[in-house]
Amino acid sequence: MNVSTILIILLIGAFATYFSGDKLASKVALLFSLAALGCSIVLLNNYNAGENISVINSWITQPKISFALNADGLGLAMVLLTAALTPVIIFSSFGNEYKNSKAFYGLILFMAFAMTGTFLAADGLLYYIFWELALIPIYFIALIWGNGDADERRKAVVKFFIYTLAGSLFMLTAFIYLYQKAGSFLIEDLYKVQLSACEQFWIFLAFFLAYAIKIPIIPFHTWQANVYQKAPTVGTMLLSGIMLKMGLYSVIRWQLPIAPLAAKEYMYIFIALGIAGVIYGSIVALRQNDLKKLLAYSSLAHVGLIAAGSYTLTLDGLRGAVLQMIAHGFVVVGLFFAAEVIFRRFETREISKLGGIRTQSPKFTSMFLILVLASVALPGTFNFVGEFTVLYSLSQVNIWFALLGGTTIILGAYYMLRMFQHVMLGETNSKTFADVTLNEGISFTVIIAVLLFFGFYPKPITDLITPSLETILNVINKN
């Protein structure tokens, strides 16, 4: 078995879901997503046993393009994140009804297929194809099944699509230029290309524009909050939990090793941009009354810190960034699902109109509190491991970066706990808040179990990703 198996399962699953009809679509999608998760676990075991599960086949001779999938520890960690969150996201949606659900769930699996391909691709053009394919399903998911005013939703989604597509064209231009130098799109050949400092600057900048929009990093973040708010919660989960990780992962996999001189030269600027996102996202989150928008700006703050850690060019920075990517994926999916559960009962996301849930649903209150504490990196949760490692790496570069980056913990604790107080405590809302269903309880339990388990025992993930990160750092330091 090789890594192409998981792509085949997800692609077949997308079509099978669509042709299964509206009544069976959700169940078929869940079945194939669980099959993909099982396949990813088998592939991980095979990888740990020393088996070569990567794939490289000639695809197009002129230009020279290969169907190359590289399964190292870093790629597998991101594949496992995608494979684990996809069934959780699908299962969490069972409490909602969707028109044309066969298309809705088929698009979810197709998006998982494209994102998985992005994490595995070892050929620049193949990577670009997967990167763009992931944009198509989320565009339709947000546009067709989103909420709020149709015109406002359309404007937000179209803005997101154009921004992302425009940034990707800069990346494609960079790949074409690199191909002329290397004669190949294979990642190991691109790593070996000798570029001048000027060439590296422009290549680095072209990649940065694509990744900064996708992550997003300020000032390229203007699409994010509106799309997160207007998209259906499933779409918001896919965007925040997995899709933005494509940009963060790509910084480590593609941008830094291909243009290391530029990365070293302008390190302080890009770390500063990441930390600026931390502070800006936290301050704007304080002013939000819409629960999804508050979580959107909270996410902006957290990914700003991850990006800053990536640009430190240290092993601790890269390792902390990857750990935080995975932790953030689970906690943000859990928080957006909690917002959806509240909306199902009260039909509002306005924080000022909520309150008193604790007295009606102690179980939900307890689970929501754990997710809030994980979000603010309480010791013992997975997020603490990642954030502490990133802050430590920032202190190695400049202590002020660590101090400013640490504001995400202070400000995050303030606005998240204040939100929890308004939503869960206080006066009881006039509507009844029914206790969590079995479906909702299972979804929350899985997410919380992951956050607590790896909070106390992150070694399996650390051992998995460290060799790959050391290899990437060796490539960077050779230049």
Residue 428 has pLDDT above 80, yes or no: no
Query: Can you give the pTM of this predicted structure?
Result: 0.95
| pLDDT cut 90: percent of the chain above it | 81
State how many domains the chain has.
1
Predicted local confidence at residue 429, as pLDDT? 63
218 falls in which pLDDT band (50, 70, 90)? confident
User: Can you tell me the distance from the alpha carbon of 149 to that of 244, in angstroms, rounded to the nearest whole number?
Assistant: 25
CA-nearest of 319, 332, 330 to 473 is 319
171 falls in which pLDDT band (50, 70, 90)? very high
427 falls in which pLDDT band (50, 70, 90)? confident
Q: Which of 33-37, 307-311, 431-435, 445-449 has the lowest mean pLDDT?
A: 431-435
Task: Answer for the pair 351, 422: CB distance below 8 angstroms, yes or no.
Answer: yes
Q: Which of 8-12, 62-66, 140-144, 414-418 has the lowest mean pLDDT?
A: 62-66
Expressed as residue numbers, the domain containing 347 is 266-479
Q: How far is CA 216 from the centre of its chain?
A: 11
Helices (H), 134-196: 135-145, 150-182, 187-192
Task: Annotate 309-336 with DSSP letters as a single string.
Answer: HHTT-SHHHHHHHHHHHHHHHHHHHHHH
- Establish if 218 belongs to a structural domain: no
430 falls in which pLDDT band (50, 70, 90)? low
Predicted local confidence at residue 360, as pLDDT? 87
Predicted local confidence at residue 442, as pLDDT? 95
321 falls in which pLDDT band (50, 70, 90)? very high
**The tokens of 139 are what?**
């565009």
Average pLDDT over residues 338-363: 89
81 falls in which pLDDT band (50, 70, 90)? very high
- Establish if 414 belongs to a structural domain: yes
348 falls in which pLDDT band (50, 70, 90)? confident
Helix, strand or coil, per DSSP, at residue 343: helix
Average pLDDT over residues 77-105: 94
- Establish if 121 belongs to a structural domain: no
Q: Tell me: the pLDDT tens digits for 307-318?
A: 999 999 999 999
Residue 445 has pLDDT above 80, yes or no: yes
Average pLDDT over residues 196-220: 93
- Most confident listed range (95-99, 428-432, 438-442): 438-442
Average pLDDT over residues 161-170: 92
Residue 451, CA distances (Å) to 65, 215, 464 in order? 40, 22, 17
User: Can you tell me the distance from the alpha carbon of 73 to that of 326, in angstroms, rounded to the nearest whole number?
Assistant: 13
Residue 250 has pLDDT above 90, yes or no: yes
Average pLDDT over residues 184-196: 93
Query: What mean pLDDT, rounded, does the chain reach?
Result: 93
- Establish if 165 belongs to a structural domain: no
Q: Tell me: the pLDDT tens digits for 110-134?
A: 999 999 999 999 999 999 999 999 9
- What sign does the dihedral 23-111-55-320 (CA atoms) show? negative
Give the residue, 151 or 141, on which the prediction is more confident.
141
64 falls in which pLDDT band (50, 70, 90)? confident
Average pLDDT over residues 457-462: 96
- Establish if 327 belongs to a structural domain: yes
- Establish if 247 belongs to a structural domain: no
183: left (phi over 0), alpha (psi -120 to 50) or beta: left
Average pLDDT over residues 453-477: 95
479 falls in which pLDDT band (50, 70, 90)? low
379 falls in which pLDDT band (50, 70, 90)? very high
- Establish if 307 belongs to a structural domain: yes
- Establish if 473 belongs to a structural domain: yes
User: Can you tell me the distance from the alpha carbon of 48 to that of 27, in angstroms, rounded to the nearest whole number?
Assistant: 32
Average pLDDT over residues 153-174: 92
> Which residue(s) pair with 66 in the sheet?
58
Average pLDDT over residues 426-441: 81
